Amino acid sequence: MRKSSILISMFFLASSLVVAPANAAAPKIGGTCSKVGSFADTPKVRFVCVKSGKKLIWGVWKAPISTNNSANKTGATPTPTPSSAPTANPSSSAKPSTTAISGSSCTTAGEWKTVGDLRYYCEGTNRRSGFLWDKGTPTSFKAPMPITLPVVQNGSITFANALSHISDIPSVSYQRIQNIIDASAAVDVPHQLLVGPHTTTVTKTIEENILSREFKLWGGFQQTKFLTVIAYSFADMDWAATTYNKVQKDRSYPGSQDPQEGINRAKQSCQIESSNCDAGNAGQTAGTDEAVEFLGVTTSYPWDPTQNGEVGHEYTHTVTSAQFIGTSAANQNYYEQMFMPCWLNEGLSNSSGIGASATTLREYLDSRDGQVTHLGSTPANFKGFSAAGLKDFLTSQISNQSVANTCYGSPSYALGYSIGFAATEALFAIGGPQSVMALVSRGVMGDNFSQAFQNVYGMSWDEGSTILGQILAAEYAAKPMRTN
């Protein structure tokens, strides 16, 4: 089958030692080559011939990305694999100059360009105007990862056989989460859990246990330097705003441009019309390496964080943003959102939050089924539950640098909690939870999402999204979406 042949060809690329003749024409990125796996060297760059669609083109050979791989129990040492070098940002056609551009105006949020040995990103206080080039991050910056890339697909579910194991994906995903947590030593993330005076249903012991499991799950990746969790019911909404303002002052966070930030963030997790708080929001605090999590606590039913995984869900949002610690990003959340597809932004948090909080497989399955099959309403631009329609959903939700954050604010964003959950769960089952966070780490180092996917899974995003679309179509054919 085509899926199997691609996996085999990628292995061949990794193991081939054929070198192009010295008298061959000087290669260039994207130029035509003749033999998959052949090499060609220039004084500064080694090129490798890779297959891109139906074409054979030159890409830059990269050394394997090696970090502490204590979580990999297989003992196998992945072979170095070639990947295409990051291409120039399509929105910036000019050649990089040697003049620093920090602080000068730019036009497109998320655009980046390299000047000398620094990579500059275009960011602003909002997504419509006021964009400036940031201070620049060294192109040599490496975001830490506890795994070696590309991930080894030697578990019970792979891209090649996933369609034959659809019903096993949820349980394998859950078990891979548990394996990492069980094998990891405790990880110390300094934090405080603040609970409103009328929010009596929150059990700090349960919440702290879930957080400790999340800290271990993402051990080896960058995590926030300090976390504040503010848990509150509707009766404590004003308390939550006041508490946030106090935390902001006590920890010397930069002043917000919004004097009502505290109450506005507290309200984000509440339904004012029904006097209930049942959601959350979290992220790194702009201008710092610390995070704040607002945790709305419902009074409509008994509070049970092990069922909805909310505290872990919101914490995962801070981890994705924290991958940008060490860069020049003033607002790490902004960078993370420009890189991550919207379905992955919420799907990753749902998969890890519910997976790390559920104490049994049965508990996980009950909770994930309720999330994965809940549609709510169908956005007008959603093309349905066929493999092609679901692939379109996955690929169209990648942020478009020419139109900043096109999927944020879109009606289809909410499908990240359900369809995005199912897609991320499949990636957990295939490559493990850490492989998905590694996508973000690769984005920190200059990859766009397609390049990051290639580097993490050893497969093109086009092929990977095709298989994910087929997996999702099979899942939803067996267990359709519901609107209630």
pLDDT at 68 over 60: no
Q: Which amino acid is at 161?
A: N
> Tokens at residue 430, please?
């295939």
Instruction: Convert 329-365 to b/e letters by CB count within 10 Å (16 or more is b).
Output: bbbbbbbbbbbbbbbbbbbbbbbbbbbbbbeeeebbe
What does the pLDDT look like over 332-342, one tens digit per residue? 887 788 788 88
Alpha carbon distance 139, 310 (integer Å): 36
> Tokens at residue 1, please?
């089958």
pLDDT at 201: 87
Alpha carbon distance 425, 351 (integer Å): 6
pLDDT at 378 over 90: no
Q: Which amino acid is at 297?
A: V
Rg (CA), the chain: 23
What does the pLDDT look like over 130-158, one tens digit per residue? 788 888 999 899 999 999 999 998 889 99
- Across 93-102, 145-154, 387-396, least confident range: 93-102
**pLDDT tier at 418, thresholds 50, 70, 90:** very high
Give DSSP secondary structure letters for 36-105.
TT-EEE-SS-EEEEEEETTEEEEEE----B----TT--S---PPP---PPPPPPTT--SPP-SS--TTSB
More confident residue, 22 or 322: 322
pLDDT at 31: 79
pLDDT at 94: 40
Contact 327, 263 (CB under 8 A): no
- The burial of 254, by beta-carbon neighbours within 10 Å (0-12 exposed, 13-18 middle, 19 or more buried), is given as exposed
> Tokens at residue 178, please?
């548990």
Alpha carbon distance 249, 126 (integer Å): 23
pLDDT at 164: 97
What average pLDDT does the chain have?
A: 82
pLDDT at 124: 67
Contact 324, 291 (CB under 8 A): no
- The burial of 212, by beta-carbon neighbours within 10 Å (0-12 exposed, 13-18 middle, 19 or more buried), is given as middle
- The stretch 241-249 carries a mean pLDDT of 95
Alpha carbon distance 192, 208 (integer Å): 10
Contact 356, 217 (CB under 8 A): yes
pLDDT at 160 over 70: yes
Give DSSP secondary structure letters for 422-446.
HHHHHHHHHH-HHHHHHHHHHHHTT
Q: What are phi and psi of 189, to 5 degrees?
A: -110, 110
Cα distances (Å, whole numbers) of residue 126 to 122, 257, 265, 405: 12, 11, 16, 11
Alpha carbon distance 323, 349 (integer Å): 15
Closest CA to 212 of 88, 311, 291: 311
More confident residue, 200 or 484: 200
| pTM reported for the whole predicted model | 0.77
Torsion of CA 258, 263, 264, 269, to 10 degrees: 150
What does the pLDDT look like over 161-172, one tens digit per residue? 999 999 999 999
pLDDT at 453: 96
**pLDDT tier at 408, thresholds 50, 70, 90:** confident
pLDDT at 347 over 90: yes
Torsion of CA 417, 422, 426, 429, to 10 degrees: 80
Q: What is the DSSP letter of 137?
A: E
> Tokens at residue 393, please?
């959903």
Q: What are phi and psi of 91, to 5 degrees?
A: -85, 0
pLDDT at 484: 67
- The stretch 48-76 carries a mean pLDDT of 55
What does the pLDDT look like over 203-217, one tens digit per residue? 899 999 999 999 999
What residues contact residue 163 under an 8 Å CB cut-off, 6+ apart? Answer: 467, 470, 471, 474
The partner residues of 119 in beta bridges, in order of sequence, read 114, 137
Instruction: Convert 139-177 to b/e letters by CB count within 10 Å (16 or more is b).
Output: eeeebebbbbbbbbbebebbbbebeeebeebbebbbbbb
Instruction: Convert 121-130 to b/e letters by CB count within 10 Å (16 or more is b).
Output: bbbbeebeee
What's the per-residue H, E or C state across 368-389?
A: HHHHHCECCCCCCCCCCCCHHH
Q: Which amino acid is at 228?
A: T
Cα distances (Å, whole numbers) of residue 127 to 405, 413, 415, 446: 8, 17, 22, 20
pLDDT at 97 over 50: no
- Kind of pairing, strands 55-60 and 46-52? antiparallel
**pLDDT tier at 127, thresholds 50, 70, 90:** low
- The percent of residues above 70 in pLDDT, for the chain, comes to 80
pLDDT at 61: 63
The partner residues of 50 in beta bridges, in order of sequence, read 57
Cα distances (Å, whole numbers) of residue 220 to 46, 144, 321, 441: 30, 7, 15, 11
- The percent of residues above 90 in pLDDT, for the chain, comes to 54
